[in-house]
Amino acid sequence: MFKVRFVDVDYEVRFQYEQDEQGRRLTECTIVSPVSGVQSVGQAVCSKKDRFVRVEGRKLALQRALEIYNREFRTAVWNQYKQVCKQ
């Protein structure tokens, strides 16, 4: 989890890792606003043939969760992600 301050609001970006009924691993990214709660969710699901890599799953899930936001917010989130999750 990490926080992003954008237009005087602190958003939380959370990651969760699970396994579904078919045995596939998935990564879920949730963006939460303190004002309105959960705003966006993105998921990345591995095929059974794929090797589970958390870094790749986080990037894909975050990208999908950010699809509904404007460019300025997306840039702020990616910049904070790069600071917190140094690869």
**Helix H or strand E encompassing 19:** strand 9-19
85 found inside a domain: no
Please check the confidence at residue 58 and state whether its pLDDT lies above 90: yes
The model's pLDDT over 12-28, given as tens digits with 9 standing for 90+, comes to 999 999 998 888 999 99
State the residue range of the domain holding 12.
2-77
24 found inside a domain: yes
Q: Which amino acid is at 68?
A: I
The per-residue pLDDT for 47 is 87
57 found inside a domain: yes
The per-residue pLDDT for 75 is 97
The per-residue pLDDT for 36 is 86
83 found inside a domain: no
Say which residue the tokens 């301050």 belong to: 5
Phi, psi torsion values for 26, nearest 5 degrees: -140, 155
73 found inside a domain: yes
Model confidence, pTM? 0.91
* Number of domains into which the chain is organized: 1
Q: Which amino acid is at 19?
A: Q
